[in-house]
Structure formats: structure tokens, C-alpha cells
Amino acid sequence: MKYPIAIELGDDTHAFSVIVPDLEGCFSAGDTMEDAIDNAKEAIELWLETVIDDGGSVPVAQEISIHQKNADYQNLVWAIVPVDLASLSDKVERVNITLAARVLRRIDADAKAMGESRSGYIARKALELHVA
């Protein structure tokens, strides 16, 4: 899944602030733009881990263009943070499944387009069934 982040630019005395509009209360900061984005990824993963562990739903990420219409996010810089939901699990289990070749090709193509592994893509799709 890819979450948009809104970044308020920093300077020599102020950190770069990050808000994750799709995840209420999820924010971060960093001394540089790169640090801010890296820290935002970590904040997103921790936020999602908590929701998943508590049995909650994983929010769907909206398009940046939707958030840009919100007055609260005017004049901010936008970036996208990819998160592999499968990597958030504390325990990995290997499974063997049987799928038609054309279904597997479609899964692989979609996973590649999303920048995810096959397992990550399948896990994300399964978790999206419980999306708020």
C-alpha cells in the first residue's frame, strides 16, 4: 500500500514536519527531507501494526489530489510512502496455495505495479477486506 504524506518544509532551526492524512494522529518529523520521509515510513508502520494488533481495520490510502483540496494541507509538499503490510506481521508462515496460471500472472503483474512482493500484495488485499 502507498500512503501519501504532507510535508511542511523545515529550515536551519525547524524540522521538516510530516502528516499522514489517511491515518488519524499519525505524524513525524526529521531534520532533512529524507529523514522526514524515512521517519514517516516508520511512523506509518507502527501506526498500522497497532491497528492490526488491536483487530482494527487498515485505512485505504486516498489520492494526493483529494488531500490537496483540504485547506489544512495547503502549501505543503507531498510524497508517497510505500508500506508492505505483510512485513508488519511479527510471525511469518510459509503456505502453499494452488492458483490458475492466469490468476497468478495477474497477481504478479498487479504486485509489480504496486511495488510489492507477491506475498505482500496478497496480504494487503486480504487486509483490505477489513478496511474501514
**CATH number for 89:** 3.30.160.250
Q: Average the pLDDT over 6-27 and give the result.
A: 93
pLDDT higher for 76 or 126? 76
Whole-angstrom distance, CA of residue 29 vs CA of residue 6: 11
Residue 87 phi/psi, 5-degree rounding, is -80, -10
pLDDT, one tens digit per residue, over 95-127 is 888 999 999 999 999 999 988 889 888 887 887
- Give the count of domains, the chain: 1
Whole-number pLDDT of residue 117 = 87
Lowest-confidence segment of 31-45, 47-61, 99-113 by average pLDDT:
47-61
Q: Give the pairing of strands 2-8 and 77-82.
A: antiparallel
Where in the sequence is the domain holding 23, given as residue range(s)? 2-128
Taking the model in full, what pTM does it have?
0.69
How far is CA 48 from its chain centroid? 8
